[in-house]
A and B are shown apart, each in its own frame.
Chain A
Amino acid sequence: MKLMGDNLDYYAQANALRDVNSYLKLILGMGAILVCVVSPGPVAPLLILVTLSAITLVFAKIPVRVYVELLHIPLLFAFFSVIVILFLSGGGEPVLTFSIANVPLTATSGSANLAFLVLVRTFGGMCGLFFIALTTPMIEIFSVMHTLRVPPVLIDLSMLIYHFIFVFIGQSIAIHNAQTIRHGYTSFKRSLNSMAMLGAMLFIRAWKEAEDLIIAMDSRCYDGKLELPGQQNPPKPVAVASVAVYLCLCIAVAIMTSTIVPFR
């Protein structure tokens, strides 16, 4: 069983930009996402998706295979939504007309522009999100949350949830294996049955894990304190400057190209 959670976390820990200041990485990723979402034309998101992918692949040294594998899931969703948009919205001249089973379908230039914009916005946004997810470990994000004065209870909760994700993954693999070796997934009906059992067991095990965790925490004098701010490497001036230049460039491109549309 291949697990994406493992992959993401592994690369977040091991990538080449691991030790770069997290604020910088977050600003770059979030900034890119914002520009993508706000940009009225498709050029800026296109620019962002190309450059940010290049940064993720070249500077953070994420393998292309992993990156494509990660991106293809949200893109598949985006692709289907785009098809719906293409044929349901209107405006402008018809570009493409045909009918399936006597249902006439028409794509106009307006709907094509909108569909393309949605596609590149999603694509660019996902690149920004994956840039953050693949270069910044959760721990760093916790420490950023801490300095941004997010209430401690939220940070503690997120830390415990993060821990339990891995407990859950481990337990579900173990149960799934135990079921598979005894033919738990050989037919559809059995799969449903096994899946239900797996769910129920996960709940019980999670409960037990939580009880054990409390004992373990109490044994170490738990007094309501959990989070500890991590140390940040100070950002290099060159890095700060290049992030600033990059984001300004993106914004400028978004403003200047706001009227450009691919389909007329």
Chain B
Amino acid sequence: MTNLLEFDNIHYAYPNCPASLSGVTFSIKKGARVALVGPNGAGKTTLMLMCNGVLEPSKGRVLLDGEPLRYDSRSLREVRKKVGMVFQNSDTQLFAPTVYQDVAFGPLNLGMEPAEIKKVVARALLEVGLAGYEKRPPHQLSGGEKKRAAIAGTLAMDPEILVFDEPTSSLDPAGAADLMELLDELNVKGATIIISTHDVELAYLWADQIILINKGTVLHTGTPEEVFTDPSLVTSSNLRMPAVLELYTELVSRQMVKKTQSPKSVLQLVSSLEENFRKPGADRVIGTITVCDVDATGTGEIKAWIADHPGLRCGAMGTRAKNLAERESIALDFTYGVIDKGILRALVGENSILLTPASMVPHVFRRVETYCRESGNTISVVCLNNTPHQSPSPGDMKEGDQKE
């Protein structure tokens, strides 16, 4: 795959200040989930503002699709259409008197027709789960809703790359988990996503490429496992090891688990532990995971199905599914890390149903399939509304696995 965005030996200094970037080089592939990790003042924000040409490097080049950025206003327009930016402080981004007008700002300035703007805005708001908020003034929204509105404003311009500056910094844990699910959903739909953060847990779990920067230089570019298992890298950039990884290294040094691939999640750690500590001969009942596409299933059908299956664990992914659960007063057992939780429950013999938006259904199948292949367990996943295009065929699987 080609490099979508490239930074080539970037130097930058704010006027009358010491250099804030000195020789930054890295590249990002299409469809990647990139986390720019570094301590406060490392130059993350400066770097992000270069992605869409707000700042011009004093030396070096930024390449988008292999073309160096040019800084005249017409070229910048094209760049900003491709690279959407969501700022840390949503208040600066939301300046129009209503959510509708704010989301419509980008499309309006791109010269779209009113009818098209209406369509685009409705789609963007639906995607972030804010349908029905059109007439609300942004200053009356909660922090999480503001963030979503800001994202909708960017999505309305249909960018290829989405850049988020500290997306979870002002959100509560549930709001942050929601947001990261939204980013997953957007990524699955094909967007390349770059976030800046100093939340190591988040970066470790979510990203597939970490760019570690400190004092204006890139310390390392690589997979989360590479970056976070290297103690010298972790300490030199004022970070700390993610809890799962720390637990894993301690367990390995006590020979309680075999040293294999570093676990990314609680699920992976639990499976490695189970390999060693499972009582032999014990009969194992494995539960089923049912996936329910909330966009295609009637609420009555979902409620009836849940009523028919007592003792069921219930999880929801994404705002639309969660809103639906709240509206229909379906009690949710898991609201974040839903697929992993479903697998963990299945391993102790409990059945679960996962409410997801349509775009995430294949993702659930892929994720469980990958787990089954790695662990040797068999967990069956079924679709509640068994329409043919959603059930996994072997062809789908392979394609999906290569993408991961």
Residue A203 is within 8 A (CB to CB) of chain B in the complex: no
State which of A94-102, A115-123, A124-132, A207-215 sits at the interface with chain B.
Answer: A207-215
Closest to B97 in A: A139
> A253: CB under 8 A from chain B?
no
Output the least CB separation between A111 and chain B (Å).
Answer: 46
Is the CB–CB distance between A228 and B108 below 8 Å? yes
| Residue contact B54 to A218, C-beta cutoff 8 Å | yes
Shortest Cβ gap from B269 to chain A (Å): 40
Residue of A142, A163, A216, A219 ringed by the most chain B CB atoms within 10 A: A219
**A-B CB pair tally, cutoff 8 Å:** 84
Q: At the interface, yes or no: A162 with Cβ under 8 Å from chain B?
A: yes
Which residues does chain A contribute within 8 Å of B139, judged by CB atoms?
A: 163, 166
What residues of B have a CB within 8 angstroms of the CB of A13 in the complex? 136-137, 140
- Shortest A135–chain B CB gap in Å is 15
Of the stretches B87-95, B239-247, B296-304, the one at the interface is: B87-95
Residue of A nearest to B80 (CB): A221
CA distance A226 to B97 in the complex (A): 11
Which residue from B77, B87, B140 sits with its C-beta under 8 Å from A221? B77
Evaluate contact between B92 and A213: CB separation under 8 angstroms. yes
Contact, CB under 8 Å: A219 / B140 = no
A163 / chain B contacts, CB cutoff of 8 Å? 95-97, 139
Interface SS of B by simple majority: helix
B314 at the A interface (CB under 8 A): no
In the complex, how many angstroms separate the beta carbon of B89 from the nearest chain A beta carbon?
7
A80 at interface by CB-CB < 8 Å: no
A20 to chain B, nearest CB (A): 14
Question: Does A63 belong to the interface (CB within 8 Å)?
Answer: no
Q: Is the beta-carbon distance between B157 and A221 smaller than 8 angstroms?
A: yes
Identify the interface centre among B95, B97, B153: most chain A CB within 10 Å of its CB.
B97
Contact of B109 among A137, A216, A222 (CB under 8 A): A222
Tell me the bound Cα distance from A225 to B114 in angstroms.
Answer: 13
Residue of B nearest to A222 (CB): B109
CB closest residue in chain B, given A211: B92
Q: Which of B84, B89, B136 contacts A212 (CB 8 A)?
A: B89
A162 near B80 with CB under 8 A, answer no
Interface residues of A in 230-260 (CB under 8 A from B): 230
Number of chain A residues whose Cβ lies closer than 8 Å to a Cβ of chain B? 31
CB atoms of B104 and A10 under 8 A apart = no
Most chain A beta-carbon contacts within 10 A, residue among B80, B87, B92, B109: B92
Q: Is A220 an interface residue (CB 8 A)?
A: yes
Chain B's closest residue to A209 (CB) is: B92
At the interface, yes or no: B49 with Cβ under 8 Å from chain A? yes
Closest CB-CB distance, B85 to chain A, in whole Å?
Answer: 4
Q: How far is the CA of A170 from the CA of B111 in the complex (A)?
A: 33
Among A138, A212, A228, which residue has the most Cβ atoms of chain B within 10 A?
A: A228
Asked if B356 is an interface residue, CB under 8 A from chain A, the answer is no
Q: With A13-B140, A226-B105 as given contacts, are A216 and B80 in contact (CB-CB < 8 Å)?
A: no
State whether A230 touches B95 (Cβ < 8 A): no
Whether A219 contacts B97 by the Cβ 8 Å rule is no
Interface pair B92/A221, CB less than 8 Å apart:
no
Residues of A with C-beta under 8 A to B54: 215, 218-219
B interface residue numbers (CB < 8 A to A) = 49, 52, 54, 76-77, 80-81, 84-85, 87, 89, 91-93, 95-98, 100-101, 104-106, 108-111, 117, 135-137, 139-140, 153-154, 157
Could you show 5 A-B contacts with beta carbons less than 8 Å apart?
Answer: A139-B97, A163-B139, A212-B87, A219-B84, A222-B109
